[in-house]
Amino acid sequence: MGLKEVLQTSRTYLLAILTFSVLLVSILIHSVLGISLSPILSGSMKPLFNVGDLLITQDVPAHQLKVGDVVVLRNGQDYTLFAHRIIRISEINGTVFIQTKGDANPTEDQGTLRVAAFQTMPRGFGRLPWAGSLLDTISRNRIALFADFGLLALASLGLNRFFYFLGHRRKSNSKIAAAPAAETTMREKVKV
C-alpha cells in the first residue's frame, strides 16, 4: 500500500477522530481546569452581558472571590442558573457570605448566599457574544442535544464519504487519461 492510499484511508477516520477529540477536550478542560460555559438568559447584566451571550467561567474556591467578580448562582425557587456581580462579601468562621446584584437591576438580590470557604463557585472571566443562544437551545431540549450529536455524526460521515469519493474519482480520472495514451502506443507498434 502506497503513501497515497494510506493518506486516503486515514482521511476517512480523521473527521470522526476530530469530533470525538473536541468532545473529550471540552470534558477534560472542565474537569481539570474547571472551565465551563453558561448562557446569559436575561438582561440583568447589561451592558456587560447581553441576552444570548455565552459567559466563560472557571471554578474557584469561594474564599478567593472578591467584590466586583461576576459569579454564576442557582435560583433557589426553580434552580435556574443566573450570573450576577458580587457587591459585598465577608468570611466568618470558614463560611463566606456573598451579596449579589445584576448590573442593570435597581436593587440587590434578595438574601445572602452562604457557602463554605473552600466550596468552588463558577467565576466569569470572558464572554462569547451570541454563542449562548445556541447552547441554551441545546441544553433545554435533550432531544435537540441528541439531534445535534446525530447531525454532527452525519456531517462527519458525509465529509468522510465526500473525501472517499473524491479520491476514487481522481483515481478513475487518471486511469481514463492513461487509457488513450496506451491505445496510441499500441497503434504505433502495429504500424511498425
- Decide if 168 is catalytic: no
Choice between 65 and 189, residue whose per-residue pLDDT is larger: 65
Given a contact cutoff of 8 angstroms between Cβ atoms, the answer to whether 121 and 59 are in contact is: yes
How high does pLDDT run on average in the chain?
77
State whether residue 141 is helix, strand or coil: coil
Q: Specify the pLDDT at position 177.
A: 53
Catalytic residue among 38, 53, 84, 156: 84
pLDDT confidence band for 136 (50 / 70 / 90): low
Grid coordinates given for 41: 438568559
Whether 189 has a pLDDT exceeding 60, the answer reads: no
- Decide if 84 is catalytic: yes
Tell me 33's DSSP state. Answer: I
36-75 tens-digit pLDDT: 888 888 899 999 999 888 889 999 999 999 999 999 988 7
Grid coordinates given for 23: 468532545
Whether 23 has a pLDDT exceeding 70, the answer reads: no
pLDDT confidence band for 123 (50 / 70 / 90): very high
Catalytic residue among 38, 53, 109, 156: 109
- What is the spatial distance between Cα 55 and Cα 123, in angstroms, rounded to a whole number? 9
Catalytic residue among 38, 44, 53, 156: 44
Q: Which residue has the cell 465551563?
A: 36
